[in-house]
Amino acid sequence: MRRPRPEAAAKAAQADERAVRTAALALLAGRDFTRHELSERLRNKGYLRELVEPVVAELVVEGSLREERYAEQFVSQKSGRGRGPVRIRMDLRQKGIEAEAIDTALNESDVDWMAAARATRIRRFGQEVPTDRHERAKQARFLQYRGFSSDQIRAALGPGEDDSDPD
């Protein structure tokens, strides 16, 4: 049995790394990914972790893979679909985005979260502000599930019987 020469093994490893890089760039040409998502996709294509991790790290260093850009696009997309900042933050954390990148994306977005909560409520329940306590609670639960804060929910629901002045 012949042993492969060290030069041949090095060339094969280099060719494999080049193949991983090509596959990674092809995936990134379609859309942005997180580090975790890209690594997972490449491993699912059959590439070894030992080859994938250095290539992904190299793509981060050179700027081809930017989680900040991914987070910005995610915030823009999800806020347009009626998701609130609490839910978006949670989703980005689950995708492995660092807290600093999440904070930056949410703070630099031009989303008016109060208006977004109001628009989401109107889209689901109609223009009329609920006066019935049970209906207010139902709409508040819906907005909370969507990821809006309590202040944003109160703004979306408008003044209710709990908010009236005792004067």
**Tens digits of residue pLDDT in 37-69:** 999 999 999 999 999 999 999 999 999 999 999
Per-residue exposure over 111-146, b if at least 16 CB sit within 10 Å of its own CB, e if not: bebbebbbebbeeebeeebbeeeeebeebbebbbeb
pLDDT at position 1 over 60: no
Q: Which pLDDT value is given to residue 29?
A: 93
Lowest average pLDDT, out of 13-17, 28-32, 124-128, goes to 13-17
* pLDDT of the residue at 154: 94
pLDDT digits (tens, 9 = 90+) for 105-118: 999 999 999 999 99
DSSP per residue, 77-123: HHHHTT--HHHHHHHHHHTT--HHHHHHHHHHS---HHHHHHHHHHH
pLDDT-derived band at 146 (thresholds 50, 70, 90) equals very high
Residue 14 has pLDDT above 70, yes or no: no
Check if the beta carbon of residue 147 is closer than 8 Å to that of residue 87.
yes
Query: Hey, where are the domains in the chain?
Result: 7-62, 67-108, 113-158
The answer to whether the CB of 135 falls within 8 A of the CB of 105 is no
CATH number of the domain located at residue range(s) 67-108 in this protein: 1.10.10
Query: How much is the pLDDT for 82?
Result: 94
- pLDDT tens across 156-167, in order? 998 765 544 444
Specify the CATH class of 113-158 in words: mainly alpha
Amino acid in the structure at residue 88: I
